[in-house]
Structure 1
Amino acid sequence: MQRIVIIGTGQGGQQAAASLRQEGFAGQILMLGEEPGLPNQRPPLSKAYMVDGDAGALILKPASFYERTGIDLHAAISVARIDRPACEVIAADGAAWL
């Protein structure tokens, strides 16, 4: 099975994963991001969030989107390095993601 690992769960990472599914990629999509929670909009963060404090309004897609589309999202994972020969992504805590 083909596998794509996206490092970063910001707007770019989220759009890359969604586009892969929209274009018919049927393999595994693994998203690893350093920030906790669901991917959210960062550019309007300082403006939109400060106005009303509604963090939910910044979420790009609900958790159900990732479940429904089979995108394996992992937050609060700090990636330390990529081991290309072993086809692994190594987290700061030493965990290896294949």
Structure 2
Amino acid sequence: GEGGYLLLADAAHKMRSPLLYRIDEVMAIWSHVSAKVLHVEAAHSETLARLAGAVPIGEFKTRFEAFPDWRERIVDDAGHMIHHDQPEQIARLIEAFCA
């Protein structure tokens, strides 16, 4: 009614998995991905920092290098919902990536 929006999301997506996450096994699988991979994140991503925990962000991100063709793009002035905050910029990044 006041020009805003309401996200209808399932809160269950924030629940942790009961399965043990073994990063060495995950990276071994990632190393076999033949598609190119685009990682887009906000410049000051609280989400990635939370996932990294005590591990410095730069060190945490080295695991993504397991993908044979991994690219990263950082977007300023955006938060966790980067596609809502910078939709035009995200669209350009995806279009360039898929070209």
Q: Same fold (TM over 0.5)?
A: no
Give the TM-score normalised by structure 2: 0.35
From the two aligned structures, give the one with the greater helix fraction: 2
Highest CA radius of gyration, 1 or 2?
Answer: 2
Give the TM-score normalised by structure 1: 0.36
From the two aligned structures, give the one with the greater strand fraction: 1
Higher relative contact order (CA 8 A, sep 6+): 2
